[in-house]
Amino acid sequence: MKVPSEIIRIYKSLHTWVGIIAGLGLFIAFYAGAFAVFKEPLRAWLQPPAQLRMVALADAGRLMDAVLSSKPGVAAGFTVHVTEQGGIPARLSWQERDGEEEHAAGRWFMAGLGEDGSLQIRQLHGAGLPDFIDTLHRVIGLPVDHDYARWVMGVVAVLYALALISGVVVLLPSLVKDFFLLRTGRNLKRMWLDAHNIVGIISLPFHLVMAITAVVFAYHDLFYVVQDQLSGKPPRPVRSMQHQALPGHPPVKLLSPQQLLARAQQLAPTMQVDALQYQDIAGARPLVRVWGHDSRAVMPRPRGGFLVLQPYTGKLVSKEMVPGAQSLSNTFISSFFALHMASFGGVLLQWLYFLLAMAGAWLFYSGNLLWIESRRVKAARGDSRVPQQRRDVRCMAALSVGISLGCMSGISLSLAASKLLNHFAAGQEWHLPLYYAVFLLSIAWAFLRGAAWASRDLLWFCTLATLALPLSSLLVAVAQGGYATGWAVDVTALLASGLLAWQAAFVGRRLSAGGADSVWHMAGR
């Protein structure tokens, strides 16, 4: 069926403007999201080795008693790590948050026992950086992590879905004929358009999943409220606390981690337990979340699922989040989390998500380039004067270069600096100010120098920033007398820096040889 040209024109306009409005935020979401897929390997890569002796699980109860005696405030929340997942090189850890938000920044600590049985506590430097990168992904780079920022992300996700649908409609008339057509040559705009269309169509299922699940992720609390009202249940926060209150003071003795693990094995025999997350054990409503994973079931969260127990009695509080044992409604919502966060399918699927996220970031960047080129004011034939490009086009070009390359450089430098600071200047947590300083200075540089000069300069800067990751590992390895771990991070960064160097050299040659009437020409400011 032939699509009327008027419909194509309307959807093309919708695709263009929705893409421009949401594209820069989505670039940050996709680029940072690619790193967020590997949060735990990054956390492990950042840590210096052998900070604490790993306490045997049989001694975890003794370690808990020592920590709570030394630091009673830890009773508000801490984690006993059953396996080595999570990038925390210790048996027990906790976080002191700077706010009440679930994802608020804070300082991580870990505890162990020395050879003589003495308590040893170390701050886990850099452990919050992968969470910060994940926050950039969730709030599209906004400097606040709050429900309001996530709601903004939800609106952007709706616009994103509109851009996807309208883009497919625009391509329908030529989809079969031009699907794999990549026309190279002097017409760079046509080549970029072909590449943009090919990447967009091939990765369309992935992008639809991301758009839909991002909306669910942003508004899932509201969905839970509606679900509870329709089912006649009390609100979720009330329901989650009903079975936790203890009469009077809690019992004196917590169940040992081994006893809780045995209880969890009875209640969820197919779940492999990774951690015991204790909360409010000195209060009236103590609980412990037994985190684990089940490769045969839908994972409610990236780290898996959990059941909730009473830590003094072992009484079951909730099984709503146990993989494979959820209700139909909870499984439905959890499947959106699993699809968005790649918490299924193992390492191969994580690498696929990483590559698709990087391709998605390029898709939004190339869309902005196409918009800029389509509004280029060309020189009249026979006229030697260089036309003045429109101010909105020059501003969008500077924003596209500054935001995109600033995000890339900021993340790379934050990782490399944290790696070095963890070894040579322990105690320094500079990733947040460092990222935003690089990000904002890159935008300022793009406006000061113009998009053309800045694209070349910032690409080379981004190359050096990415190369700093394996170099930081090399410096740490020399200082500590051997390479510890994280070769996948270093090899990936090394390959990426080579690709960025090639791109920077190509852009430099193209800018010198391009048309003088282009916003991307060296004089096109």
CA distance 211 to 327: 25
Edge-first strand listing for the sheet containing 106-113: 119-123, 106-113, 92-97, 77-81, 272-279, 287-293, 305-309, 316-321
207 token code pair: 């992008």
Q: Work out the pLDDT band at 129, boundaries 50, 70, 90.
A: confident
Domain ranges of the chain: 387-525
Residue with tokens 């993340």: 411
More confident site: 239 or 224:
224
**Of 161, 293, 138, 308, the residue nearest 220 (C-alpha):** 138
Over residues 168-202, the pLDDT tens digits come to 766 666 655 555 555 555 556 666 666 666 777 77
Residue 304, beta-bridge partner list: 301
**In sequence order, what are the residues at sequence separation of 6 or more whose Cβ sits closer than 8 angstroms to the Cβ of residue 468?**
412, 413, 416
Average pLDDT of the segment spanning 117-122 = 85
**Of 111, 105, 140, 114, the residue nearest 124 (C-alpha):** 111
Over residues 60-86, the pLDDT tens digits come to 889 999 999 999 899 999 999 988 765
492 token code pair: 């990936």
Q: Return the number of other C-beta atoms located less than 10 Å from residue 381's C-beta.
A: 5
Q: How far is CA 70 from CA 93, 157, 257, in A?
A: 14, 47, 20
pLDDT confidence of residue 428: 59
**Of 421, 78, 487, the residue nearest 275 (C-alpha):** 78
**Of 285, 300, 290, the residue nearest 240 (C-alpha):** 285
Q: How far is CA 100 from CA 96, 97, 146, 285, 338, in A?
A: 10, 7, 10, 18, 26
End-to-end CA distance of the chain: 45
Over residues 280-327, the pLDDT tens digits come to 998 888 999 999 988 777 777 777 889 999 999 999 998 888 887 777
pLDDT confidence of residue 242: 44
Contact 119, 62 (CB under 8 A): no
**In sequence order, what are the residues at sequence separation of 6 or more whose Cβ sits closer than 8 angstroms to the Cβ of residue 377?**
387, 388, 389, 390, 517
Over residues 429-461, the pLDDT tens digits come to 678 889 999 999 999 999 998 888 898 999 999
pLDDT confidence of residue 258: 92
Contact 406, 441 (CB under 8 A): yes
CA angle (223, 228, 230) in 5-degree steps: 95
Average pLDDT of the segment spanning 152-177 = 73
CB under 8 A, 24+ apart: contacts of 90-97: 90/51, 90/52, 90/54, 90/55, 90/122, 90/124, 91/54, 91/55, 91/57, 91/59, 91/60, 91/63, 92/55, 92/60, 92/63, 92/64, 92/67, 93/124
pLDDT confidence of residue 240: 43
287 token code pair: 């609980």
pTM reported for the whole predicted model: 0.80
Over residues 372-414, the pLDDT tens digits come to 777 766 545 555 555 676 777 788 889 999 999 999 999 999 9
CA distance 233 to 208: 32
Q: Work out the pLDDT band at 468, boundaries 50, 70, 90.
A: very high
